[in-house]
Structure 1
């Protein structure tokens, strides 16, 4: 079956990239962020992108830009930062964040278009949220057969530990979240080992890495290669904030391991103080290109070069790994 999709909350295009890799025609997308929309257009010029707050986008607005095409897949990743593990780690509370309501906008578009298939991804914590349960119940009431499950993308060939909730639905067929068809896990080495040294790379994204102070460079140089952690350092090299009892986030200033999957690529992936983001053997944090590759973006995937490292890291870290959405899309095509 040929699938024609729209991608809601498209970001820089990770979900779209995976859908296209599976042969899906992504006819239109919606994204509010200016620079994410720039990145999307750089890589998907044939998809009509509506750069607007989805709350102000009607079903007719979407359908009017894709005449003569029947949309049979609505896909999207509604931002729900209030449910992320980092945001809720303090006492497990759901953070009051207006973005938590955006799942209802996804539901509104689905109800208006009534596509044969739906695909939604989100953080695992959303299952505890009333609007998620409301969305599932409403989908059932309008005729969708729905399945959802929390999975780890490392089980699907993505070289990264990343737990996500995936929801699939169909109007006519029973759907089940597909199990991994990948016999062997991919590793950090599989994706970034063969890249040239930063100084010899012609790729601006691979040259885009954080400049460290001499003090931080010295600390990094003392962390054991290939998987070492800040806890391996002599106490005199511990940062003051790490000397306090009960300090969490033990992965900060940790190195990736060549033969393992990476830690979750987050919006802090270009900052060693935000997680295990140091190169396995070189004394630096990973580059923007390495982070994108660990998210399974193609090596030539383009990003704006005139934005801050912080925004670039968030753009990459907030993305849906293309390889994972490709697997979900292929499953829908197969059934």
Structure 2
């Protein structure tokens, strides 16, 4: 790893560790405060809808200033969100407020992080470099949820939020030491043009992959309601999943670099099978499935990200980043809106989301020459 990649790795570790201390538990925290499933889905729908709405203004703001501004905005929103969680009441407007703050924090964080990700990853080692960064990310994730669960079960939400706020704020420091050559590419925001140039297969591919986050949002609720109603159970499941993730990541990253094979189809099929089994498992079976979940979801993630970063080299950073944001938030907003309207059962929602993800196996991988032709038009 070069100097920029090491600095970015420190940022990824600190920010990932601090976020995951509490983020995975938010739906369960809302449930314990008396919100029903439909209200929790309303929160998630608002968060995704606001994310979609503010994606363009967020990137525009970064153009006028820089991407570090987005990170600072994300930190401020994160701080206010954590404070409000400590004073939560069963009120729809309170729920709406934390959904908006969650969206602002997430967009500020992810738009900036994805931009710097694109800048530090080089053309000749996309999968290997991403694998290393992904391992750093997983080291941050691996024990954070479990530590968070212990603090929530045995100490208090107040202490957990203080720790999360301090570490998340500190994470921005390495970004100020990143050094890049001046970006001389066209800075004009051309969302519609970029969206037309991205192959339609990739649009659904990226969007359906983001639906996996809907499943991951619902899974902790499933565990808490149907398996065991403690935070620590969720923490243990996450710990096992992330241990298998980190073991598998670097090995599969190397394989992707050395192989021309497309692992997307098999990874999608295995991901759908594993999550279907997960929501029908309890006890040791659930823990065993969590091991396989780590393997298959990392295979899926690395395969998607190879597509994402390879395609990114055909476009200007800002427009590509914004277009991806629009795609992912659109898919999540549409699906969660449907769930809020029809008031479905928890398992049914997970099955429908997995079905939408599985449709991507019928997509053909777009040829590189076609991508180049589209980018030149």
> TM-score scaled by structure 2?
0.26
The structure carrying a bigger helix percent of its residues is 2
TM-score, structure 1 as length reference: 0.29
Structure with the largest fraction of strand: 1
